[in-house]
Amino acid sequence: MKKKVLRYLKHVIITLTVLAIIAISFGLYHGASASYAHNPSRLAFDGEGPYVFYKNDTVVDVNYIRGNKEEGFYLDQTEYTTHASIAAKCFFALDSTRFDFVIKSNFKTPKTSYNDKNKILAVSDIESGYKAFRDFLINNQVIDRNLNWTFDQGHLVLVGDFVDRGFSTTQVIWFIYKLEQEAQNHGGQVHFIIGNHELKNMYGDHQAASLKYTFVASILGKTQSNLYDSNSLLGKWLSSKNAIESINGTLFAHGGLHPDVSNIDMSLEEINGLIRSNYYTAPYPKPNESDSDLLLSSKTGICWYRGYFKDDLTQEEIDKPLLKFKAKAIVVGHTVQSKIKSFYNGKVIGIDVRHPKDYHKNWPNKKSEGLLIQGGNYFRVFNDGSQEAL
């Protein structure tokens, strides 16, 4: 009897072990991971900011949060005219570092198309990971260790979803703002392509945002939707950005182009204009879609589309929108890949990979990747600065 029980328990343990291995393997294949070692400084608010809001057409309030939970919080608030160049600092609690930049409130809408022979480095879906983003750019010689631009006249293309799911959204956004100014001073370009999570923050969907920003908004005397609305300086800046751009014959969009876009009588500039005018409108799918619904909806819209990876598309369906816009390929984020990959005979390149998080570790360990385009060739580039042909 004892032997039967032991034999039965042995079979149960073996069965459970096999099922556990299958479950873990399935989860790893689909990008699942376990987080651990959460750093308490993720909810340190002292020095958090700046948060800049328009008081009226001529005055802005620049706010930094000071204090702590034990002694209480208060705002360090200063008024400036909208014509001022405002010296600002952004604090990163994890390693107690800061970066300096200048706030200006005059924004220009970027061009939609660029044609030159300069190299391109594209990164996607950083998701509030300031340290991962910063270190990747340092190791790939886009910036030096003092965070100064060293990419000359190159294009740094940020393919959406640099916010949410982390504790460094403010740091990431101001860092992009700083790099944009520095790149222009050197003849380079930072292209911040709007993703669906930037859209969510603009129109008020904060489900994926860290709870930290609920606390931040409360301390500021605002709602979370105010942080990136049209009365905030960063909201106004974000709403000037494009949803799709063409750079040296390659398209960049967060989601992608539904095949039916090829039937729409609109240029890329007109498409960007339409989408920009709807940044503060929730893009839910509607029945009997019009051309505008096709470009805007959370199913087929350029910031949302997943059809390259979820639908059974033909090569012709991939090629038609590219031919319409005279592009050789499209680079997209939004849909997670195990590594940067090309699809459909190199016409679609997916660059959304899992990046490390600032305030916790993951198992399996995550490592950043980007896409380098140089001399008409495509390369995977890694967090240590190495690269391989795609």
Burial class (CB in 10 A: 0-12, 13-18, 19+), 343: middle
Task: Provide the whole-model pTM.
Answer: 0.92
CA distance 121 to 260: 29
* Cβ atoms 168, 89 nearer than 8 A: no
Burial class (CB in 10 A: 0-12, 13-18, 19+), 207: exposed
Distance CA 91, CA 47 (A): 6
Mean pLDDT, rounded, of the chain: 93
Residue 25 has a pLDDT of: 54
pLDDT of the residue at 287: 74
Q: How far is CA 197 from CA 22, 129, 134, 270, in A?
A: 32, 14, 20, 22
Residue 379 to residues 177, 389, 390, Cα–Cα distance (Å): 26, 4, 5
**CA-to-CA distance for 91 and 63, rounded, in angstroms?**
13
* CB-based contact 257:251 (threshold 8 Å): yes
Q: Percentage of the chain with pLDDT > 70? A: 91
Q: Give the gyration radius of the chain's Cα atoms.
A: 23
Q: How many CB atoms lie within 10 A of CB 224?
A: 19
How far, in Å, are 61, 128, 199, 200, 304 from residue 208 at the CA level?
A: 27, 11, 12, 9, 15
Does domain 109-389 bear CATH number 3.40.50.2000? no
Q: Other C-beta atoms within 10 Å of 292: how many?
A: 17
Average pLDDT in the 96-122 region? Answer: 96
The pLDDT tens digits for 286-339 are 776 688 999 999 999 999 999 999 999 999 999 999 999 999 999 999 999 999
Domain locations along the chain: 2-32, 109-389
Give the model's pLDDT for residue 21: 60
Q: Give the model's confidence band at 105: pLDDT under 50 very low, under 70 low, under 90 confident, else very high.
A: confident
Q: What is the pLDDT of residues 209-218, one digit of tens each?
A: 999 999 999 9
CA-CA-CA-CA dihedral for 329, 149, 54, 192, to nearest 10: 10
Token pair for residue 232? 């905030």
